[in-house]
Structure 1
Amino acid sequence: MHENNSYPSPKRAWLTVGILLVAYVLSFVDRQILNLLVEPIRRDLQISDTEMSLLMGLSFAIFYTVAGIPLGRIADSKSRRGLIAGGVAVWSLMTAFCGLAQQYWHFIIGRIGVGAGEAALSPAAYSLIADSFAPNRRATAISVYAMGIYLGAGAAFLLGGIVVTWANARGAMVLPVFGEVRPWQLIFLVLGAAGLMFCLVLLAIKEPTRKGIGAGVAVPLKDVANYLLGIRKAVLCHNFGFACLSFASYGASAWIPTFFIRNHGLTAGEVGIYYGSLVMVAGSLGIVFGGRLADFLAQRGCLDANMRVGLLSAILTLLCNVVYLVDNMPLLWTIMFFNVFTVAMPFGVAPAAIQEIMPNAMRGQASAIYLFTITLIGLGIGPTAVALFTDYVFQDDMAVRYSIFIVASVITVGSIILLAMGLKPYREARDTLTRWGEQQGQPG
């Protein structure tokens, strides 16, 4: 098959990244808004910290991961723009459904639907960006897209903080059709409507031609599995190493608002505004810095630059975890800024690393497996692990600070070990890709 290897113009490529970034922001607002609404939702649904953690994590993560792999295979051969638009529509409808929840199981169903819809976004987005930018600019471009994690999480805290403050003064509202709506329910209804309207913006994305080794090659599922088995050491160290960082990140961030409220006496509104602003700034700076550093190292011949940035991030994050034991507020906020910065660094380079070791026709599937791993382990287990320590080990709501510190620190050590072990296998996987391309008549 004849392949057009020219990349889109920088303007077109960055427009694509910008639109995908907004989609990612919306997805993370929908995903993370629960973290600031723990107390009102617990009160209204009469549930425990552990039950609340299942809404934050496992109910979303299971269906996000289950749906991700078949959707990743679709992204490798069908319209990526169309796939993303369908996913946005589904998760927005289900976010609005969460706003109608009257019982715990209603909320569980809504979170399952949000997870299934969001699974369509990132595998297709990574593939679109990889085909829009040359390899030596890819980590930066994917890191800009991945800023959506921190812009979205920060916006969720800010939005939640503003609404909680407003709600304390006003209380429930009566809306046409829906009747009496509590303030936390109104947030979900508004977010769902915003996502549905955004679907029209996705029409501005123009699909780039598929490029690189494996572009235009129809690869049976069996061959994808065999290829992954051939580079399994690199894949396992990469996926589980970054999953440990995701575990630490999700586990901590799910309970940091509660940590500030319980241990430092802040109101939910104050946490939303202060911590939300910090997350948006420090997280965005950290993730783009990680991408720029990886591209800088790659341009100087470092073949495992993306993995090395992940390892550096894990080491720095472990040092910053002391923040949960600090009582001096100015010092706490200073360390928290660096903690969020270092935690953010690897989440652009991790998916960029996959693009460097997989044929084009397998990128979406490999990205979906990566997302399966980090989401099931990170979001699926992280928040609940912290809650279990608080509820069953310490049996004290005020011990949440120690739960976060222990869980985040232990799992970050695991990440350091795995990423260090993965450096050599990752370099070997890049050689495997070159040989595969030569066998297909597509030398790199």
Structure 2
Amino acid sequence: MTAKPLDPTRTDRTAWITLATLAAAYGVHALDRSIFTLLVEPIKRELALSDAQLGLLTGLAFAIFYAALGLPMARLADRWNRKRLIIISIVIFSAATVASGMAGGFVSLLLARVLVGIGEAGPTPASVSILSDRFPPARRPLAMSLFIAGALCGTTAGLLAISLFGANVSWRTVFWGAGAGGLIVALVVALVIREPQRRATEAAHEHFGTAMAGLLRIPSFRWISIGSGLFSALIVSVQGWVPAFLTRSHGFDRNHIVLFLALAWGVGGVVGVTVLGALTNWIRKRGGPAVLISVAGLIVVTVAVLAVALSTPSTPLCVAALAVAFFLMPASQGPTFALVQDMTPPQRRATATALLQLISNGIGLGLGPLATGALSDALRPHLGSASLRAALLWVVVAAGAAGAAAMVLAARRIVGDLAREDTLARAPALEPAAS
């Protein structure tokens, strides 16, 4: 069934129910992705895997298919029924997660991870597109922030489950439970979500290359994507290397690290993305440039707080500063998702989300952790065990400064981009700046 078109003056109960359901779907998406990295050691012992095989399972086996299929899946979402695509995708990656728990060796586990990557390529662009049709522009920053909070809840659930039950429950049982939860969420999506009517369909059959070229011709879209990628490099580097940093520099053990990440990144991140998403709704009344300047400011403050965490010899101060940074770091995604939806015609919205994620993940995952590790190795002969601390600090400052600058450049172009006749003809404009 297709729902009625969105009333641009209000947000009804259906919109909030849709948001809660899609956030839950994003949560199982994040849970299925995160638990594998937390279960590497017991999987390695039971299946007798090498570190190289584990690297393939945690990285390329998932990432190649996830990245390669992101844009085709998004284009399908722009042309086809988004609800059905989300359901099919959740069923695929949830069933593959269950299959991961049944793996008898490297090959079967590799095939399961490939299927997880294929399934997880579909839901996010389609979900963001649906939410953009359900929520008017003035409320999109908060809606997108709450959607992002769903992923943080999923990651937190994985961390807490491993922390509380990891020693007493088989890794296979964890996969089976996570996969079963995903299948239940797929059923809820089927029963609850209604496909909204798109507000423009005249170009629904445009060529894929035309859609891509149209997006890449928007200067502010390019700068937002680059800025998001650079900030992602900072975030992924911190996520990937802070556990080792806490172990080497502050003597943390594995259980304390998992519990700290669950509370700081999970709970703190959810609170941060919700509170700052609501604040962005207010900032948005002053126009798109104000939102992007606030994101740039968020990045600068995050860099400053992380600089304290990485520089201080005091463990309590380090932990407190990291907690503040984890409160801030996820908050940029909601506003940037919302702005990209505002500047994009409805028939390109899922494609725009996937392209933003592709550029962001390409820069973030491709540069951040690798640059940190390589720099730490290069500094080790001079700094010894402090090399990781210095490498993280340099990457955080460089990526953060460049990311903030990119957001400022986007702010300078966004009003002109939204004023283009071919964009305004089919996309809702941002509210004018307050006088």
What is the RMSD computed on CA atoms of the aligned residues? 2.9
The aligned counterpart of 1:373 is 359
Displacement, 1:283? 0.7
- d(CA) in 2 for partners of 1:94 and 1:310? 37
- d(CA) in 2 for partners of 1:403 and 1:43? 31
Displacement, 1:397? 8.1
The aligned counterpart of 2:318 is 332
C-alpha change, 1:132 and 1:443, in structure 2 (3 Å) is closer
1:312 lines up with 2:313 in the alignment: no
- Answer whether contact 2:130 2:196 (CA < 8 A) is retained: yes
Q: Is 96-105 or 395-404 further displaced after alignment?
A: 395-404
The aligned counterpart of 2:117 is 115
The aligned counterpart of 2:403 is 415
Residue-pair matches, total: 419
- Answer whether contact 1:290 1:349 (CA < 8 A) is retained: no
The aligned counterpart of 1:31 is 33
C-alpha change, 1:22 and 1:275, in structure 2 (3 Å) is same
Q: Is 343-352 or 268-277 further displaced after alignment?
A: 268-277
The aligned counterpart of 1:224 is 211
C-alpha change, 1:443 and 1:265, in structure 2 (3 Å) is closer
1:190 lines up with 2:191 in the alignment: no
Identical pairs, percent: 26
Displacement, 1:46? 5.3
- d(CA) in 1 for partners of 2:188 and 2:84? 12
C-alpha change, 1:404 and 1:93, in structure 2 (3 Å) is farther
- d(CA) in 2 for partners of 1:317 and 1:51? 35
SS in 2 for 1:166: coil
Q: For residues 164-203 of structure 1, what are the structure 2 equivalents within 5 Å?
A: 164-166=166-168, 183-203=170-190
Displacement, 1:125? 0.7
- d(CA) in 1 for partners of 2:228 and 2:180? 33
The aligned counterpart of 2:194 is 206
Q: Is 108-117 or 128-137 further displaced after alignment?
A: 108-117
C-alpha change, 1:443 and 1:256, in structure 2 (3 Å) is closer
The aligned counterpart of 2:155 is 153
1:293 lines up with 2:279 in the alignment: yes
Report Cα offsets for 1:170-210 as digits up to 9, x if no partner.
xxxxxxxxxxxxx3343223212221222111121112221
C-alpha change, 1:279 and 1:229, in structure 2 (3 Å) is closer
Displacement, 1:427? 2.0
SS in 1 for 2:198: coil
Report Cα offsets for 1:312-348 as digits up to 9, x if no partner.
2211121122213434232122101111122111011
Aligned partner letter, 1:265: G
Report Cα offsets for 1:100-141 as digits up to 9, x if no partner.
455556544433322221111111111111111111011111
Specify which of 59, 64, 67 is matched with residue 66 of structure 2. 64
- d(CA) in 1 for partners of 2:194 and 2:164? 36
Report Cα offsets for 1:48-88 as digits up to 9, x if no partner.
4x875654444433221211111111111211111111111
The aligned counterpart of 1:179 is none
- Answer whether contact 1:30 1:95 (CA < 8 A) is retained: yes
- Answer whether contact 1:61 1:379 (CA < 8 A) is retained: no
Specify which of 266, 273, 287 is matched with residue 302 of structure 1. 287
C-alpha change, 1:417 and 1:196, in structure 2 (3 Å) is same
TM-score normalized by the length of structure 2: 0.86
- d(CA) in 2 for partners of 1:87 and 1:400? 38
TM-score normalized by the length of structure 1: 0.85
Aligned partner letter, 1:145: F
Aligned partner letter, 1:99: G
SS in 1 for 2:359: helix
Displacement, 1:40? 4.3
Aligned partner letter, 1:94: A
1:424 lines up with 2:412 in the alignment: yes
Q: Can you give the 5+ residue segments of structure 1 that lack an aligned partner in the other structure? A: 168-182
1:251 lines up with 2:253 in the alignment: no
Aligned partner letter, 1:313: L
- Answer whether contact 1:164 1:269 (CA < 8 A) is retained: no
C-alpha change, 1:435 and 1:216, in structure 2 (3 Å) is closer
The aligned counterpart of 2:226 is 240
C-alpha change, 1:409 and 1:52, in structure 2 (3 Å) is farther
